Chain A
Amino acid sequence: MALFSDVLDLTILSIILFLLAPFLGMAAMGIGRRISARMQNRVGPPLLQPWYDVQKLFMKKDQSTNSLIGPMAFGFLIFNVMAVVVLVILGDLLMFVILLGMAQLFLSLGGFAGSSPYSHIGANRNLLQILSVEPLMLAIPIGVLLVNGTYYISDLALNAEILLYLPVAVAIILFALVVWMQKGPFDMSTAHQEILYGNLLEFSGKNLAMVEIGHWFENFALFAMLGLFFNFTPLLSGPLGPVLAVVVDLVIKLLIGLVGLLVVIWIDNATTRQHWDRLPKFSFYIMLPVLFINILLIYMKLVWGWF
C-alpha cells in the first residue's frame, strides 16, 4: 500500500487541517443550532453564535468555587487539541481515541471539584457516558487493525474498502457524537433544566470558554473520524491525479460530516432525554453485540479465511 506522503506533502496538509479544526468544530455547533431551530419552526441564532458566546465568556469574571476547576477545563481543551494533532498528522488511531476519552475524564474531575450536588450528579453521569462510549470507540481501532494490519490513520485514509469491512464504526461514531455533543436522548451529564448543566455547573467565565473551545476541537475530531470511513482518494487518484484526489476526498468528507450533523440534530429533536440507565443498556445490549458480530465477520473473512 502506498504511503500517504507519496500522495501529498503531509506537513502542509496537517497545518491547514489543524488551523481549520476549531473553526469547523465551531461551524458544526453554529449550523447545528440553526438546523435545530429550523426543525422547531424558529429562525435560530446567527451562524457565528458560538463565537460570540466564547468571546463573551472570556470577558466575564471567574466565579469558580474550587481552584481545580480551571486546570480541569484546560485539561479538557488540551487533550482534545492533542487528539486533533494526532489526527491531522495521520498518526495512531488508538492514541487518538484514547486522548478523546481522556479529555472527557477531565470534565468529570471538574464536576467532582465543584461543591454543588448537581455538579456531582453530572460528574457521575459523565463517567457513565465514558463507560458506555469508550469501549465501543476503542473497538474501532481493533477492527481497523484487523483489516489494515496497522493502527495508522495514514493507512486508514487510503483504504477505500474499510466501510465494507467495518460498517458498525459509523453507527458507533454517530452514537459517540450524540453523547459527546450533549444531544438527546443521551445528554444526561449536562442535562439542562434537569440538573442545570451537571458537571459544568460550577464552571464560569474563561473556564467555561475553554470547555466550549475544547468542544469545537472534539466536534472536529469526531466528524473527521466519521469521514475517515469514507475514503475516495485511491479511487480518484487515477483519473484526477493525487493532489486533486485528496482535495475532492476532503470535500466529500466535509459533506459526510454535514449529513452526520443533520442525523445527530434530527435524533436530538426526535427523542426525549432517557433515564440514565438506558445509556449503558443501549450501549452494552445493542451496540456491543452488533460490534461483536462485525468483528467476528472480519475474523472469519480475513484471519480464518472462511469466505
Chain B
Amino acid sequence: MSILKSPWVVHFCSSSCNGCDIEVLAALTPRYDLERFGILNKGNPKFADVLLATGTVNPRTAKSLKNIYDQMPDPKVVICIGSCGATGGVFQDCYNIQGGVDTVVPVAVYVPGCPARPEAIIDGVVKALGIVKAQLEAAEKGELPKPEPAKAEAGGEGK
C-alpha cells in the first residue's frame, strides 16, 4: 500500500475567492510540513494520486476539471475542499454556476469550511487515502466496487 506513503497531489481551483487555495498552499509550508507524510504538491496531473478541487464549477471550468481528472492515472481520488466546492456555497444561485465539484467528477471526501483550515485539509487527505486503501483491498479480493460515475458531463451549456 505504498500509495498511502507517497500521495502526490495536484490542486485545481474551478472558480472561487481563492481562500481555500491559499489554505491548501499553507498546508505545504514548514509549519504543517506535509512532506513528512510523503505528500508532495506535484502540479502535474500525470504524476498525481490526489486531486484537491476547490471552488464552484461553471461550464467553462468544468471542462478543465474533467480534463485534469481524466489525465490522472488510476488509482486516484478527489478531495473537494471548502463550501463552494461542496455545494456551490454563496455562489450557488448565480446564473453561471453549475454546482459543486461532484457535478463533474466523483468526490471521495468533502472538507467543509469557508475557507477550510489546513488541519482539516490534512485530515481530508488522510481520510481519502483510507478510502483508496479500502478500494485496493477490495480489488485484490476481486470485489472492486465500480467507481461512482460522474453525475453530469463536463461542459454543459457553455460547450
**Interfacial residues, chain A to chain B (CB-CB below 8 A):** 33, 37, 40-46, 49, 52-53, 55-56, 59-63, 192-193, 196-197, 201-205, 208
Contacts and interface: CB of A to CB of B under 8 A. Distances in A.
B6 A37 contact: no
A33 B38 CA distance: 11
Given A41-B30, A43-B33, A53-B6, A60 B75 contact: yes
Interface in B1-55: 2-3, 5-6, 30, 33, 35-38, 42-44, 46-47, 49
B2 to A, nearest CB: 4
B38 A49 contact: yes
Interface of B: 2-3, 5-6, 30, 33, 35-38, 42-44, 46-47, 49, 71-75
B2 A45 contact: no
Nearest to A58: B2
Nearest to B7: A56
Contact of A40 (B2, B30, B47, B73): B30
Nearest to B3: A56
B35 A52 contact: no
Contact of A62 (B38, B73, B75): B73
A197 to B, nearest CB: 5
Contacts of A40: 30
B46 A63 contact: yes
Secondary structure at chain B's binding surface: helix, strand, loop or mixed?
A: loop
B38 A196 contact: no
Chain A binding surface, main DSSP class = loop
29 contacts: A33-B35, A37-B36, A41-B30, A42-B36, A43-B33, A45-B36, A46-B5, A46-B38, A49-B5, A49-B6, A52-B2, A52-B5, A52-B6, A52-B38, A53-B6, A55-B2, A56-B6, A56-B49, A59-B2, A59-B75, A60-B49, A61-B75, A63-B71, A63-B72, A192-B42, A197-B44, A197-B47, A203-B46, A204-B46
B46 A202 contact: yes
**What are the 10 A-B residue pairs with the smallest beta carbon separation, nearest first?**
A55-B2, A52-B5, A204-B46, A63-B73, A61-B73, A56-B2, A42-B33, A61-B74, A43-B36, A52-B6
A45 B38 contact: yes
Nearest to B35: A45
A41 B33 CA distance: 9
Contacts of A62: 73
